[in-house]
Each structure stands twice: as C-alpha cells, then as structure tokens.
Structure 1
C-alpha cells in the first residue's frame, strides 16, 4: 500500500504528524509512506523511520498557483493508493486530486467536496488533541484510537551529530542547557529575554553551559540574553540562532541535558528527542498541542485572559508571560534536569 501524506506547514505540526505515520505502520506494516511538504521539513522527515521519502513542495504557504499544483499532481499519477491530507485548506487537496489518487482522505474544510472522497467530520470534543486529529485519519471513520498513543521520536545519526558539534566548536565536557526563546507564531508566546537570562545565569553558575537555538529572526533575542550575563559567564553561552540549519539544530539539541522553551516548533523537537523539558505557556494551551515526552514540566499562570491564542496581546500587557517570573521555571527545571553540579 502506497500512501501520500500532504504535510503541514509548521515545524511543531510536522513533528506531531509522526503519530499518524506510526499508526499507519501499525495498521499496514508493509505500507510505504511519502510526505509532500515544504523543503525545510526534510531534516525532520529524514529522522522519522516510518517515512520512505520526503517530496519537496515548491510553493510557499498560501500560494495557489493552480498550474504548478496541476503539474505536480500529474507527475504523481499512478504512484499512490491513498492520499491523507493534514492541512484543512482547499489548496492542499488539489495535488492529490490532479494525481488521480483513488482514496483521498481528510477533514472537512474549505469546500473540498469533490476534491476529497473520504471526507471526515471533526468532532472536537472527541479529538481535543492535534495528534488525535492526525491519528484518526489512519483508521476507518468512527474507529476508536489505539492506546497508549504513540509519541514522536526523531532518530539521530551519531556521525551527523558529531559533525555539528565539531562545526560549531562545541563540547560535551559540561551539562548542556538548551534555551529556545523564539516563537514564530508571535510575541504572545515569548517569555521575556531577561527571564531566560536569569535561568541561564543560574545554570552556568552551577557548572552548566548554555546553547541558544532559533531561526535568524531569533538571533537578536539570543544576543539580548547573552548580553545580560556578566563577563565571565557570557562566554559559557553560545547563540546558535540562525547559524545552524534545522538538521544541525536537531542533532545538537539531542545533546541537551535539559531544555527550556516557549510553545514553539523547537519545543516539539525537544520532546521528540525525549530531552528533559520545561515548556513555558502564555497565550496558548497545552490542552491542544502538549509536548510529548517522558520528562516534561508545563509552567503557566493560567490568567483569566489566557489562553487567547492571539499573536499579540489585545490588552498590550502580555501579563501571561511577564508575570511568570523565573522562580517556577527554575523549580521545574530542577525537577526534570536532575541534580546540578556544585555551584562555582
């Protein structure tokens, strides 16, 4: 059985999509799974043993370009028995339709009747988690999901990891605290840089080193965190934001002894690497997309105005993040990160 997955457009969603791939393999052990998704997702998909091939989708998020979608679809004709669509957009249904794939499965959304022929109606109460909504597409309509749920688990190649360590001049002679202070979604997901700096300083004083991860957009906040450290401690923090590829970031994060992250794609990467993790939530909720790992601590205030799921605070105060001071995060970090070294 050959299955084409139309993948999501966000890092965290792509990581969580592995639960669908795992369910498909459990149900059809010999099935072959290819994923059509943006090129940036290749390093994630290459670390998922369930995926046979990552197929690069050349169009940006939101672009229609009907002729290109028709061309891609026709190039896939005769290759797949089923397509499963994770996005709910009309655009995402075009390639499987043009490819003439016999069974085209997805949730109802954006007038996709005719483009899909296995249309599911989502019961949000039955499937409150995103992974449940992904997993359900592996089974017949109305089937119960198997428990316990699978968890994303990214595979690391030691040679690739060691090459990344050498490239950035990093060593593992001290415990590593990974910090992920960015959030592509928006400012409402960002815990303040000064609070991250306090966490970094505490761990560095306890004998740890700090690695900062993120995209090029996150480089300034990474530098802001480093600059808040006093000379002598600042040298123990490496701002890797924007310097690493996604593949290198994944490999390096697999070395972390503990991770502190906003609700972001890198949070889900850390969970899929089963790193001890403290996840800081403000405007969003772990009730929909929680990190899935053995050692996870969720820290949030749960103010009356949150979760609002807004990119920016409609009140302008960002209290859900600004009133969440470092102490509870440090306490959570202590619980997941083991005993620190002697204070120096």
Structure 2
C-alpha cells in the first residue's frame, strides 16, 4: 500500500533516488517495484525498543546522507533510527509524542483520509497540501520464466485453471475465515474443474493443513512451502484469489488478479483491496468492524455466519462459467 506514495514522490522529484527501510519479509515485494532503488533491512520487530541497536543502525544509515525520511508507522520507536541517522527533514504524522523526533509533523484528519493508502500518499505532499487524486493502484511485475520455474520446482500441475486461497491473517483470528468454510469452498471449486492452491507463511501451515484435510485433498497446501517471492510468482498464475484482509490480499490485487476479499473484524473502508476487480464480502454486523485480534464477544459471528456460498456467489462475478 506504500507503492502509490513511491510513485508520487518520483512524480514530484524526477531525479529522486528512493530507498526503503523495511522488514525482511517485504524485501521480495520491494524488489518488484521499479520505484525503489535500494531496500535496507529493518531488523526490529514489534515491541522491541533495543535503543542502543537502533542508535548503531542510525549511525550506519547516516553514511547514506539522505535528504528526507518519511516515517509511515505512527510509533515513537519508528522515528528513532531517522533521528539517529541525522536526516535533516523527518516527515510523519503526530503520534506517541514524537515531537522533536520528527521536524515535519502532520496532523491526521481521519475523516478526510479514511484509507491507509491515502494517509501514506498525503505524506508525499507539502504540509497543508491535499492528496493528489486519483491515487494509482499498486502494481507488481512478474516474469513468465519465474512463473514456470517456481511451479516446476514445487511440482505443481498448471494444466487446470487455478484458484488461490489466502487463509492467513497476521493480525489475529478475528480476521481469519473459518477453515471449514475454506474447505467447503475448495471442494466446490474442484467440482467445477479448478485446482485450489493455499498460500501463506510458515505461521499459516497448520491452517493450510487443516483446510487440505477437511477438503479431502482437493486443496494443495503451499503455506510455509514458499517464500514471498515464490508466492508472488504463483499467485500471478491464478484465475481468482479468495483472501482474508491480509498482506497477500494486497499482493493479489497488485498482480491484477480478480479477488474475493473476506472481512470480519476489519474494515474495507480502511484497508480495501486496491483493485477494480475485487468483490468485498462482509456481513456488516452491528459489532463490526471492531478491529480486535480476537472477538471480544467470543463468537466471531462476522466470520462464522459468512457462509461459503456467499464467497461462491461473489466469485461468479469474475468466473461466469461457475454454476
């Protein structure tokens, strides 16, 4: 979702050399973005202050002599490395008492900028200047050779059309559609002549195994068997993706794939799939979106009652051959 920001920065500054400081899992994504000249590994996870280590990384980063940094997370910790790197212009939204750490602070109007991608793009503009619209959709590039090599390395049959399922969601269970629902949907796609591949990280391997077992083997579990780079290559082969509100949902959208996006505790108004080929499926219950990792009422009805046929009907919008 930051790629439109990168595009706008290049638009404003044609001679720009753009570097990104990011977690390791995002590096394959950044490698597919022509706007990014270089990616730097951010070794700090959530919740870890590690002040001395941040100071060391900052002093190493100072050698790059950056003119400006745009800090996307709203945490205090995320503003420390740019300060320690002595970057003269440090831009970001006010948050967690970051006065002094940032010297180009912006106040966030959540009603004016309801979507995360809009908030990112706002930081490309001068203070008090509006976001330039329309905001372009993210776009990832994939080579046909990489597609073929990745499919062959995993011995995947590409003779049948493929549906991709992304059943994980890093944030928590309240964003994950039930495995039995995914399994029922997999069987229905299989009966219609489609192969079903499950995508996710090693953390999603158990979920993937459960779906594969419940679907009587009709879904092929690739969770934890690919890195993100391989997952991108394989997702580019699918005819349709069915995804929770997750990072892989945004990857599928950036690959231009038709997708069915399933929303439970989160909101498509804040993090929608950035695509004209997306069908959002949500029950819009009174208790949602709650933005909680776990259902505060203990029932997760927003996902429990979101039945497989609802996703099937949404898929028919893009696959008219489905009965």
Shorter-chain TM-score bucket reads over 0.9
Please list, as runs of the form range in 1=range in 2, the aligned pairs for 1:54-93 lying within 5 A after superposition.
54-77=39-62, 79-93=65-79
Q: Distance in 1 between matches of 2:252 and 2:320?
A: 17
In the other structure, the counterpart of 2:14 is: 29
- Secondary structure of 1:200 counterpart: helix
Residue 19 in structure 1 maps to residue 4 in structure 2:
yes
Establish whether residue 52 from structure 1 lines up as the match of residue 52 from structure 2: no
CA deviations 1:218-255 (Å, max 9, x no partner) are: 2222122222234xxx2x43100011111111111111
Take 1:315 and 1:199, find their aligned partners in 2: how far apart are those partners?
A: 26
Deviations 1:38-85 (A, max 9, x none): 112110110111001110122222211222211111122252110100
Report matched runs for 1:206-225 at 5 Å.
Answer: 206-225=192-211
> 5+ unaligned residues in a row in structure 2: which ranges?
none
1:276·1:337 contact (CA, 8 Å) conserved in 2? no
Partner of 2:81: 95
Instruction: Verify the 8 A CA contact 1:90 1:111 in the aligned structure 2.
Output: yes
Match of 1:7 in 2: none
* One of 99, 109, 114 as aligned partner of 1:128: 114
Q: How many residues align?
A: 322
Asked if 1:317 is matched to 2:304, the reply is no
Conservation of the 8 A alpha-carbon contact between 1:278 and 1:336:
no
Pairing of 1:102-121 with structure 2 (within 5 A): 102-121=88-107
Q: Does 1:289 align with 2:271?
A: yes
Which runs of structure 2 are paired with 1:259-270 in the superposition (5 Å)? 259-270=241-252
2:225 maps to which residue? 243
- Alignment counterpart, residue 164 of structure 1, candidates 146, 150, 166: 150
Moved more, 139-148 or 241-250: 139-148
Is the CA contact (8 Å cut-off) linking 1:177 and 1:208 kept in structure 2?
yes
8 Å contact from structure 1 (residues 135, 145) kept in 2: yes
Which structure 1 segments of 5+ residues have no match? 1-15
Cα distance in 1 for residues equivalent to 2:262 and 2:285: 14
From 249, 262, 281, the counterpart of 1:280: 262
The residue aligned with 1:184 is: 170
Deviation at 1:338, TM superposition (A): 4.0
Which residue number in structure 2 is paired with residue 305 of structure 1?
287
Instruction: Return the match for 2:185 from 185, 189, 199.
Output: 199
1:153 paired with 2:135, answer: no
